[in-house]
């Protein structure tokens, strides 16, 4: 990597400090930490209510979720947070000249294989976030910010599992 390419990325320590400030700001203004899985859940609930309203009415999960979110699931602040993350990511990539629509992968595999495993990993992580009652940012970062033992345990298991499984999945990116 040459010097021109390395200048396009933020210093990771500065990124960590900024993430901490965003988390602090979220707690101050909303009384809650950050999270992404809640936005996905809200979108799924809204989709099921639109496509299959009878099913949504008959399910305890959907009715309980709807009752706890006045104004509808898409008015949840996490939905707006995730829209901001997506738009901000695209704007940041465009400004830095890194916005390219391509699939990066090892020369040992195809783009199709990389996309299949990326989707599979995303689905498994999403399922795990529901089992764990939150995603990395919700359970780990926000949990650690309030000194929750569960937040520290979650972060240890997320990184520990990733480290343990990296050996088996390394050919997907090396």
Residue closest to 99 by CA, chosen among 111, 110, 81, 87: 87
Confidence of residue 14 (pLDDT cuts 50, 70, 90): very high
Q: How far apart are CA 131 and CA 137, in angstroms?
A: 15
Model confidence pLDDT, tens digit, residues 47-104 = 898 999 899 889 888 888 887 777 777 777 788 888 998 999 899 888 888 888 888 8
Mean pLDDT value across the chain: 83
What CA–CA distance (Å, rounded) separates 42 from 64? Answer: 12
CA distance 74 to 49: 11
CB 55 within 8 Å of CB 45: no
pLDDT tier for residue 171 given thresholds of 50, 70 and 90? confident
pLDDT at position 6 over 50? no
pTM (global) more than 0.85:
no
> Helix, strand, or coil here: 140?
helix
Give long-range contacts, CB 8 A cutoff, 24+ apart: 45-53.
45/73, 46/72, 46/73, 46/74, 49/73
Q: Which two tokens stand for residue 44?
A: 């799924």
Per-domain boundaries in the chain: 102-174
């Amino acid at each position: 990597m040459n010097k021109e390419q390395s200048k396009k990325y933020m210093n990771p320590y500065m990124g960590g400090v900024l993430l901490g400030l965003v988390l602090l700001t979220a707690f101050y203004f909303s009384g809650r930490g950050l999270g992404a899985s809640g936005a996905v859940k809200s979108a799924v609930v809204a989709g099921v209510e639109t496509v299959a309203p009878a099913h949504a009415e008959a399910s305890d999960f959907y009715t309980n979720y709807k009752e706890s979110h006045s104004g509808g699931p898409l008015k949840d602040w996490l939905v707006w947070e995730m829209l901001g993350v997506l738009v901000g990511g695209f704007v940041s990539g465009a400004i830095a000249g890194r916005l390219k629509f391509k699939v990066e992968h090892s020369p040992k595999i195809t783009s199709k294989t990389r996309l299949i495993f990326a989707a599979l990993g995303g689905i498994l992580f999403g399922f795990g976030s529901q089992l764990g009652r939150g995603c990395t940012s919700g359970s780990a970062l926000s949990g650690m910010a309030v000194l929750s033992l569960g937040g520290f345990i979650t972060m240890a298991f997320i990184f520990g599992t990733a480290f343990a499984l990296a050996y088996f999945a390394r050919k997907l990116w090396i």
